[in-house]
Amino acid sequence: MKDKILEYTTRLGDDSLVLGHRLSEWCRNAPFLEEDLALINVSLDYIGRARMFYGYAAELAGDGRSEDDFAFMRDQREFSNLLIHELPKGDFAYTMLRQLFVDVFYSLFLPRLAESSDETLAAIAAKAIKETRYHLRRSHEWTLRFGLGTDESRERAQRAIDQLWGYTHEMFDLDALESELAEAGIGVDNGALKAEWERQVIAILTEAELKLPQEEWAVRGGREGYHTENLGQLLNEMQSVHRAYPGLEW
Amino acid sequence: MIADFPLVSAAYEARRAQREASKLPKIWTLLDQVCDPEIPVLSLWDLGVITDIEKSGGRLTVTITPTYSGCPAMQTMHDDIEAVLRQAGIDAFEVRASLAPAWSSDWISPEGRAKLTAYGIAAPKSCDSCQGLALDSDIHCPHCGSADTRMTSEFGSTACKALFQCRSCQEPFDYFKPI
């Protein structure tokens, strides 16, 4: 069971780190200063979560690896993040609509994880819930502003929704490992969150006068290590210093 | 006049009772000199980051908890506590980070709230029912006390603060967010 919790914890760490890194790419590139601050603070919350998950994974592994080894010394195929986290930052509407989808997801996922019988996973989740509430308020408000704003903001938001939608389904899949941990009261049954997630997302999109895409398509594979080309590029940049100077410490 | 009523939360009362019951009052007092590296008027006690001090078998354990998951000041706080303990001639100790229970802005001491306001940061509202979903309103300007203020950014120079502006005196200020 310990190995299974280790893998589950690593997956959650991968989700947080990859999205945290994507958000950090807005640093000094956001449309205005306040947004720059906001996006990198949200990024920091995710990187903080990644550190807590990886720190716990390192403790479970007990083989001398540190949180840094998890972040910097694994290749693309070993990363098991859900694909939606690794998609490029795109334009500002794309980034904020992705946030809306994942923020609603985490606002449902984290309260369940906080009830985990694994005390460390529960503690990390209890801490993260508070931050996610702030994140969701912001992505909700931005979605309204895009949808009810100008023709251009509405078009960009709609394009983002159309491009992202097929990546949302993977968030609710469960493989054998996740099913087993959910049944054991350690992990979360993501599948059970889907109806409520859709209800909340549709309510927000409707409020913003935006539409759900009609096409039925879905991309999957993150949990098995099959990624889009974007992850390799992200890791290449994120891991470059650590790879060039192995063992370097600040 | 600063319209900030001292707020003594149940969470702070519990912290104070724990400190008063502690068998190590001198260590608590010693560590009162360690301040938050980003808001240097607040001691770690005021902020609620030091959650416990224990001694067992001659070895001291100081437990600290992060404010936010990604708080970059944690390592500095850790190092500052170590430095103060060593300077006081204490060598057998451990500074331990703990995640549960999750830190809340309600843990900030009444003195800490007053220090924040004097420093130009509006103190957080009570978090008893805060869901992070209601818009913050009725935040008093730490400079002139006016409640006629508006939020200009959900995040400020650190994750724990939002940016506000006072419509009465026009001054911008930080608001320590309830969490």
Query: What would the pLDDT profile of A19-30 be if each residue is shown by its tens digit?
Result: 999 999 999 999
Contact: A131, B179; criterion CB under 8 Å: yes
Residue recorded with tokens 């690794």: A86
Mean pLDDT of chain A: 96
Dist CA B179 CA B164 (whole Å): 17
B69 closest CB neighbour out of A120, A131, A136: A131
Cβ within 8 Å, pair B70-A44: yes
Indicate if B87 and B113 belong to the same structural domain: no
CB A114 within 8 A of CB A129: yes
Chain A nearest CA to B34, separation (Å) = 23
CB-nearest to B154 from A20, A128, A138 is A138
Cis check: omega of the bond before B101, within 30 degrees of 0 = yes
Q: Mind telling me how many Å the CA of B105 is from chain A's nearest CA?
A: 11
Specify the 3-state DSSP secondary structure of B52: strand
**What is the CATH class of A2-244?**
mainly alpha
Could you tell me if B73 and B91 lie in one domain? yes
- Asked if A34's CB is within 8 angstroms of B102's CB, the reply is no
Which of B72, B84, B73 is closest to B34 using CA atoms?
B84
Expressed as residue numbers, the domain containing B53 is: 10-106
Domain with residue B81: its CATH number is 3.30.300.130
Domain match, B113 and B93 both: no
Q: Of B55, B83, B106, which marks where a domain is finished?
A: B106
Nearest to A8 by CA among A216, A182, A234, A250: A182
Segments in chain B below pLDDT 70: 1-7, 128-136
Per-residue tokens: A70: 């998890």
- Give domain limits for chain A: 2-244
* Model confidence, pTM: 0.90
Contact B168, B146 (CB under 8 A): yes
Between A110 and B157, residue with greater pLDDT: A110
Same domain, B15 and B87: yes
Please list every residue in chain A whose beta carbon sits closer than 8 Å to the beta carbon of residue B71.
Answer: 48
Q: What are phi and psi of B128, to 5 degrees?
A: -45, -45
Give the whole-angstrom CA distance, residue B87 versus residue B92: 12
Contact A45 B70 (CB under 8 A): yes
Residue B3 lies in a domain: no
CB contact under 8 A, A127 and B163: no
Question: How distant is the Cα of A40 from the closest Cα of chain B, in angstroms?
Answer: 9
- Selection from A228, A220, A111, A234 nearest residue A168 by Cα: A220
Kindly indicate whether the ipTM for this predicted assembly is greater than 0.90, answering yes or no: no
Does residue B5 belong to any structural domain of this protein?
no
DSSP state of B43: B
What's the pLDDT score for residue B158?
A: 82
Chain B residues touching chain A at CB-CB below 8 Å:
66, 68-72, 99-104, 131-133, 152-159, 163, 177, 179
